[in-house]
Amino acid sequence: MDFSFTEEQQTLKKIVREFAEKKLAPHVREFEEKGIDYDLVRELYKLGVMGLSLPSKYGGGDTGFLESIIVMEELARICPAFTMAANDTWAGAVVVNSFGKVSQKKKYIIPNLKGEIFSSFATTEAGAGSDTFSMKTTIIPDGDAFIVNGSKAWITNASVADYYIIWGYTDKSKRTRGFTTAILDKGMKGFSFGKKEDLCGFRASFTGSLYFDNVRIPAENIIGSPGDGFLHLMTLLDAGRVAMASIANGISQAALETAITYVKQREQFGRPLADFQSIRMTLADMWTELEASKLISYKCAYLADKNPMDEELIKLASSAKYYASEVAMKIATDALQMCGSMGYSKEMLLEKYFRDAKFMSIGEGTTQIQKLILASRILGSKKVIL
């Protein structure tokens, strides 16, 4: 068992860190006010660090999943909202690559990985969060086309993306076999967007709603066959959970580094805070929990590369997601506490890490849902909980 990054992975980490520190760090507060700058996302595509796990014939890097985790951890160490948005700009390409037709791959993946077009990935609805089966969006055949009706909520890159991977029922009576995956292009008649959501954390993210009012899409925009959607969703959920874990680990890393720097400098009662035993105990806990959290997500990458439908991966991806989220909240809280009033003020970024960390235990399946999935699998049940 080799825990070290290869020379290539270390180089990737260095490149992304340099990008994040030089290009993102100076703008983090500005992003919170105005939203992220997508020109910087385009720069990431030029650097060749987006879509790494996709095939090189479409512009990807032919790498494993660990490389994407490295990219997300490094970006999230500086700006988690940017990271989630940037990652989602090619999440649609993963779906198209795994289940799409060659014509769809050429149309969407190639320009996507050049940074010319962006994707968005939409499952959640106002009445269907973790309870995905209560989804109301429909994708109904109509001659040589399909008609889409319904809406999606809390969607990253809403209105910014150029193509949207959405799920809806073609036949609700068939339950899991009635789900269909479709591609909607921005600008299609009847396809509109809601306002940008005003969030507690991840304020830089363009998160919003999608509305479908009799949107007529050609049959060529259906991914796979009608009714295949559930399989697509199941295959992709684990990667999404590990992606969120990586972002959470990036937040933890940032908060921990900030705390370490502060307690070495700040003096009270004639000595640095770092000399106090209670601070040292807490730092040791923070470091250990972050390390454990990273190792879980790295093991997920190892399993995903071997077999994305591995039973062990289903468990571990939920474990990675909920553990990293809770650790991020704890580390952000402890780091802020160590920095006292300074940590609580906008002079430092800890208050932002604190707000951002909270989202990690909510988005892409709450901590509670992840625990239910995990417990269900540990107990031997294969009951589907999305």
Partner 1 sequence: MKVIVCIKQVPESTEVKLDPKSYTLDRSSSKGIINPFDVNAVEEAMRITEKLENVETIVISMGPPSAEEALKEALTYGLNAAYLLSDKAFAGADTLATAYTLAKAIEKIGNYDLILCGKQAIDGDTAQVGPGIAENLNLTQVTNVKKIDFLDEKTLRVESELEDGYKVIEVKLPAVLTVTKEINIPRIPSFKTARLALKKPITKWAAQDLDNIDKSKIGMDGSPTTVIKVETPTIQKNTVFLKGTPSQIASDLIQKLKERYFI
By the criterion CB under 8 A, which residues form the site for partner 1? 7-8, 11-12, 15, 18-19, 22-23, 46-49, 52, 61
Q: Cβ 305 to partner 1, closest distance in Å?
A: 18
Q: Are strands 267-268 and 191-193 parallel, antiparallel or unpaired?
A: unpaired
Q: Cβ 12 to partner 1, closest distance in Å?
A: 6
Q: Cβ 60 to partner 1, closest distance in Å?
A: 11
User: What separation in angstroms does the CA of 125 have from each of 133, 136, 185?
Assistant: 11, 8, 19
Residue 15 and residue 47 in contact, taking contact as beta carbons nearer than 8 Å: yes
Q: Is 8 a catalytic residue?
A: no
Instruction: Give the span between the Cα atoms of 69 and 75, in whole angstroms.
Output: 10
Q: Cβ 341 to partner 1, closest distance in Å?
A: 30
What burial letters (b/e) apply to 333-354, b meaning 16+ CB within 10 Å? bbbbebbeeebeeeebbbbbbb
- Provide CB contacts within 8 A for 288, sequence distance 6+: none
Nearer to partner 1, 11 or 307 (CB): 11
> Of 292, 351, 279, nearest to 324 (Cα)?
292
Nearer to partner 1, 20 or 374 (CB): 20
Q: Cβ 115 to partner 1, closest distance in Å?
A: 12
Nearer to partner 1, 40 or 348 (CB): 40
Instruction: Give the span between the Cα atoms of 194 and 154, in whole angstroms.
Output: 10
Nearer to partner 1, 23 or 105 (CB): 23
Residue 197 has what DSSP assignment? P
Nearer to partner 1, 47 or 110 (CB): 47
Amino acid at 369: I
Residue 127 and residue 136 in contact, taking contact as beta carbons nearer than 8 Å: yes
Instruction: Give the span between the Cα atoms of 160 and 85, in whole angstroms.
Output: 10
Q: What are phi and psi of 218, to 5 degrees?
A: -70, 155
Q: Cβ 14 to partner 1, closest distance in Å?
A: 8
**Among the options 73, 74, 125, 364, which is catalytic?**
364
Instruction: Give the span between the Cα atoms of 254 and 263, in whole angstroms.
Output: 14
Nearer to partner 1, 228 or 305 (CB): 305
User: What separation in angstroms does the CA of 110 have from each of 74, 103, 151, 181?
Assistant: 25, 11, 28, 20
- Residues belonging to the active site: 364
